Amino acid sequence: MPQSPKANRGPSAGPANRQALIDAAREVFAELGYTAPMKEIARRAGVGQGSMYRHFSDRIALAAAVFEPSIRELESLAVQSDTTLADLFDRVTEQALSSAALTELMNSNRDDPRVTLLGDRTRDTIALIVEREQAAGTLETHLSTDHAMVAVAMLATMIAKSAPEDRADTARHARDIFDAAFTRPSPAHAAAAAPHTRTHAVRRRGS
């Protein structure tokens, strides 16, 4: 059932109107995607479209305000000393499953400075985790921040482009691939795999 507009807060309620627009946009983007009608966002927030555009000049400005907390959440996760890339992948997966609009924003407005800033912050977050894991010996040194950044982008995009009913399965399959690529085998596992690897190499030379 469509939600009724919220009561008008009056001309002095600028901060409240701004927050109401952000909250409404988060709901609408999650339900209808990044290209959802702006008038629907204003309606749910209980403000006029003129007021909406006084707070947010365009769709990108509103979406950036909506999803900035998602980037901040990744930053807060990254500064925890025990956070791994797997933890980051988990959180990105959760964010992508809850709303595909952040991925749509990032993919469709790559050259916009407001979107570039969000991307740069994400990259810095990933770099912090990669450097820490490599220093601890839990991530192969040939893997770089660029590799992890591509993995995050692919993970979010694959989920966003899937039908809603398929997104959980897509996320699980993608995670299997990325976990295998970014998880360093334990010494015991590597030792157990070595005979098989050598046998396979010998067979290839003999064929």
* Mean pLDDT, rounded, for 2-8: 51
Mean pLDDT, rounded, of the chain: 87
Q: What would the pLDDT profile of 26-53 be if each residue is shown by its tens digit?
A: 999 999 999 999 999 999 999 999 999 9
Centroid of chain to Cα 8: 34
pLDDT at 112: 97
Hey, what domains does the chain have and what are their CATH numbers? 14-55 (1.10.10.60), 60-185 (1.10.357.10)
List the alpha helices (DSSP H) in 79-142: 85-98, 101-108, 113-136
Chain centroid to CA 154: 10
Q: What is the pLDDT of residue 18?
A: 96
CB 129 within 8 A of CB 76: no
Closest CA to 92 of 48, 38, 150: 150
**6 and 44 in contact (C-beta within 8 Å)?**
yes
Query: Which residues fall within 8 angstroms of residue 140, CB to CB, at 6 or more apart?
Result: 134, 184
Please determine, for residue 194, whether its predicted confidence score (pLDDT) is greater than 50.
Answer: no
Distance CA 24, CA 32 (A): 12
Give helix 59-78 / helix 14-32 axis angle, nearest 10°.
80
Q: pLDDT band at 13, cuts 50/70/90?
A: confident
Output 47 or 204, whichever has higher pLDDT. 47
**∠ CA 39-44-47, rounded to 5°:** 70
pLDDT in tens, 123-137: 999 999 999 999 999
pLDDT of residue 146: 97
Helix (H, G, I), strand (E, B) or coil at 54: helix
Chain length of the chain: 207
Q: Distance between CA atoms of 29 and 35, rounded to whole angstroms?
A: 8
Q: Which of 35, 34, 3 is nearest to 20 (CA)?
A: 3
